[in-house]
């Protein structure tokens, strides 16, 4: 509906009324509706991608790195997952999901925080192991040996603080930038000018746009964001005009968790952004089926049961089909009878 709202303001009537738009361009009811919407909007949109403007830009590679939870982290995740599943048992439609969207997103946020580090939901777990944290420092060790600079993005400032503490303990050089950083220019210049391998910790909101960090050629996204476009902007802090080296971006994901399911849904929904240029809010467009997919695997035996089939609607559809078939059969019988009577009358006249 974001696209309809924009076009209703800029060019009223192009996409019809709100009811017409829902009926005509609902991709869940009709898969081909996406193509119809793209064809309707294409004459009014002009888009120039970075690949068309900067053709000499080196290639960009994206890889997904998976880590498996163990111990306390896994136990906390399973317990939280079961709690959310029980809370969502009563939801049986997309409308019910939208009405309870705040509680749903809050529960998903806690699951994602556990995936990052148990200490994000309770400081008493700060000393516990984090599978993703171990995977991060394994990558940082390898890149430091090869004398590379690295950008590390996270949406949770508290997670950056945990990483920062470990870097300080291990006496590793790093820079740090969040919304609370006062000397942004100084942090950027230090990272850009140093020749030693270094790590730049950035919050996704504060450092995901408007910065030029081409001295780094590696990017690590510690936790996935709802909107893939935000992640792409973070990677583009180094993959931009002035970059001479190949850029490699790593996405850290926790195996058998909501992070893995969210990433799969991102792949499916990115096609809409690419084809229609509609930067839709990923989280706000989660439906009942999406929610069942996210919460039905990994960490618990209990699953959210699918909504009961609507038998009444099916019966209505079948009765409608029967009545239509009966009408068509009656019309066909009348036509045949008329033709037969005409032939008989012609024969009588000849005789």
Same domain, 150 and 255: yes
- The verdict on residue 335 lying in a domain is no
Whether residue 160 sits in one domain with residue 13: no
Q: What pLDDT does residue 79 have? A: 92
Give the CATH number for residue 127: 3.40.50.300
For residues 207 and 180, membership in a common domain is answered with yes
- Decide if 230 is inside a domain: yes
351 in a domain, yes or no? no
Q: Please check whether residue 314 lies inside any domain of the structure.
A: no
Same-domain pairing of 152 and 94 = yes
Q: Are residues 61 and 18 in the same domain?
A: no
Residue 290 lies in a domain: yes
Give the integer Cα–Cα distance in Å for 167 and 165.
Answer: 5
Quote the domain boundaries for residue 275.
Answer: 57-295
- Of 257, 272, 295, which residue constitutes the final position of a domain? 295
- Does residue 120 share a domain with residue 206? yes
**CA-based max dimension of the chain:** 116
Last residue of a domain, one of 295, 321, 341: 295
pLDDT at site 170: 94
Residues 19 and 67 in one domain: no
Q: What are the pLDDT tens digits along the chain (351 aa)?
A: 677 888 888 888 888 888 888 888 776 667 677 778 888 887 777 776 666 676 777 888 999 999 999 999 999 999 999 888 887 766 667 777 777 778 888 888 999 999 999 999 999 999 999 999 999 999 999 999 999 999 999 999 999 999 999 999 999 999 999 988 889 899 999 999 999 999 999 998 887 677 889 899 999 999 987 777 788 888 989 888 888 889 999 999 999 898 988 888 777 666 555 544 444 445 555 666 766 767 765 544 444 444 433 333 333 333 333 344 344 445 555 554 555 555 555 544 544
- Give the pLDDT confidence score for residue 325 in this predicted structure: 39
- Do 115 and 229 have their domain in common? yes
* Count of domains forming the chain: 2
- The answer to whether residues 215 and 76 belong to one domain is yes
pLDDT at 312: 36
Alpha-carbon gap, residue 303 to 286, rounded angstroms: 18
306 part of a folded domain: no
38 and 160: one domain? Answer: no
Instruction: Decide if 24 is inside a domain.
Output: yes
Position 76 scores a pLDDT of 94
What is the reported pTM?
0.68
Residues 204 and 67 in one domain: yes
Q: 270, 295, 320: which is the final residue of a domain?
A: 295
Looking at the domain assignment, is residue 331 inside a domain?
no
> Is the same domain home to 17 and 121?
no
């Amino acid at each position: 509906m974001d696209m309809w709202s924009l076009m209703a303001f800029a060019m009223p009537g192009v996409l019809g009324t709100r009811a017409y738009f829902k009926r005509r361009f609902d991709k869940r009811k009709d898969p081909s509706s996406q193509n119809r919407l793209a064809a309707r909007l294409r004459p009014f949109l002009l888009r120039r991608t970075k690949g068309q403007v900067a053709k000499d830009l080196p290639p960009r590679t994206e890889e997904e790195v998976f880590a498996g939870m163990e111990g306390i982290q896994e136990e906390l995740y399973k317990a939280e997952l079961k709690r959310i599943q029980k809370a969502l048992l009563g939801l049986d439609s997309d409308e019910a999901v939208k009405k309870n969207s705040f509680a749903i997103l809050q529960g998903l946020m806690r699951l994602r925080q556990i995936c990052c580090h148990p200490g994000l939901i309770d400081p008493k777990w700060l000393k516990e192991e984090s599978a993703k944290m171990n995977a991060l420092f394994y990558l940082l060790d390898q890149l430091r040996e090869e004398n590379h600079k690295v950008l590390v993005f996270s949406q949770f400032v508290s997670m950056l603080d945990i990483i920062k503490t470990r870097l300080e303990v291990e006496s590793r050089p790093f820079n740090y930038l969040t919304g609370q950083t006062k000397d942004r220019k100084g942090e950027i210049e230090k990272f850009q000018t140093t020749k030693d391998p270094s790590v730049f910790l950035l919050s996704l909101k504060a450092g995901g746009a408007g910065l030029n960090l081409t001295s780094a050629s590696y990017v690590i996204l510690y936790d996935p964001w709802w909107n893939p476009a935000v992640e792409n902007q973070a990677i583009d802090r180094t993959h931009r005009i002035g970059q001479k080296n190949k850029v490699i971006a790593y996405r850290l994901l926790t195996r058998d968790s909501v992070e893995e399911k969210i990433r799969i849904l991102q792949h499916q929904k990115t096609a809409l952004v690419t084809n229609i240029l509609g930067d839709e809010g990923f989280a706000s467009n989660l439906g009942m089926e999406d929610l069942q997919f996210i919460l039905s695997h990994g960490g618990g035996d209990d699953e959210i049961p699918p909504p009961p089939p609507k038998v009444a609607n099916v019966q209505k559809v079948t009765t409608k089909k029967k009545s239509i078939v009966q009408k068509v059969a009656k019309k066909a019988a009348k036509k045949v009878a008329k033709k037969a009577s005409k032939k008989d009358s012609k024969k009588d006249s000849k005789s």
